Amino acid sequence: MGQGSGRQERSKKLELATTETMQAEADIQSDKEETKETKTRDERLRLVFGMADLKNKAIGLYNIGQTCCLNSLLQVFLMNTHFTGILRRITVPSSTSQQRRSVPYQMLLLLEKMQSGKQKAVFPSDLACCLSAHRVKLFVQYDAAQLLLTLWNLVKSQVTNPELTEKLSDLYTIWVQEYMVCQECSFETKRNSSMITLPLSMLDSSSHLLRTLEECLHYFFCPEELTGHNMCFCEHCGKKTPFLQSMKLAHLPKTLILHLKRFCFRKSASIHKLCHTLRFPQVLDFSAVLTEEQCQADASEKASWQYELFAVVAHSGSTDYGHYCAYIWSLVECKWYCFDDSRVCQVLWDDVKCTYGHSDFHWGQTAYLLVYMKKNPR
């Protein structure tokens, strides 16, 4: 009886040892597969972004005096690996004085500074001084949409390589066709126009609140009657007449920036902030939002109008005093981060949705700029 019990015990120990060995081998195999998968993913990312952009980390920027707006916009630019890929190819200015005045070069230096050290935040002082040299005032409050346009114009005008200038335009420029039709003689004029942002009203012509991004986009491309003091001069009629003005979408860029016009004028001429809830999706299909009459594009162009949300620049506070921060999707890590000056933390989509706005919370965060990234074709 004792020998049988001993044999059973040794048999169980043998089975246990065999099981542990098999489990260890399985774990090693799993680790190898995981390592191989990680290497394959990194190689794939290098092909898309380049070796340097794999270092893109969520690093904060210190507020050096009312620079929350500038910091938020810089994060949106520098977390966009398509933009930094262009930035890394610029021609370095020859002299020290030219380097100090070059906005693209100073942005590149800031990017390298953010990626090279172990610090959680860096000072954007040199870039701020560079902007100051171009009459961009420091220590004042800015409107994010206006400052974005200022930064864009400075960067584009100072990139000397024509190929890179074209790439920048392709990355951010929206093209539309504007139509003007006289309502008395039907004389029509049209012209092509470009813009960096789509300025979307959050109120319709009757001052009713628009509640979704899709409603705002549809309203933006709806024809508008110009009557009364808005009438235009018609060359055929030889006088001011009512006109029908409309815009048709022709081309959308890789990076699409939408400006939610939360600041508007009241009848008393004072500026008022609209804080009501306006929902925006993570995935946006422009071809499904607009009608055929609102588009001037062929089938291949429309097929590329599939977008995913990349960043939200949010404003909190009133028209007189406020604060900006940015929620950005890391293209490398595939995670959402909140950039609030020097404070950076990982967040969830539910946190981003808190920027939809709420009429009862006037001081809460509300989305002001939405940045969408075109989906990569499969």
Catalytic residues: 68, 323
Instruction: Specify the pairing of strand 306-317 against strand 121-122.
Output: unpaired
CA-closest candidate to residue 332, choices 59, 121, 33, 80: 80
CB within 8 A of 307, min separation 6: which ones?
256, 283, 284, 285, 286, 372, 373, 374, 375
The amino acid occupying position 198 is L
CA–CA gap between residue 5 and residue 52 (Å, rounded): 64
CA–CA gap between residue 284 and residue 278 (Å, rounded): 15
CA-closest candidate to residue 202, choices 362, 356, 360: 356
Distances (CA, A) of 6 to 11, 34, 103, 197: 8, 41, 81, 80
Q: What is the DSSP string of 153-213?
A: HHHHHH---HHHHHHHHHHH-EEEEEEEEETTT--EEEEEEEESEEEEESB-TT-PBP-BH
Contact present, 310 and 80 (Cβ < 8 Å) = yes
Contact present, 179 and 158 (Cβ < 8 Å) = no
| Strand order, beta sheet including 174-182 | 188-195, 174-182, 243-251, 224-226
Kindly state the tokens that stand for 122: 């860096």
Instruction: Specify the pairing of strand 121-122 against strand 60-61.
Output: parallel
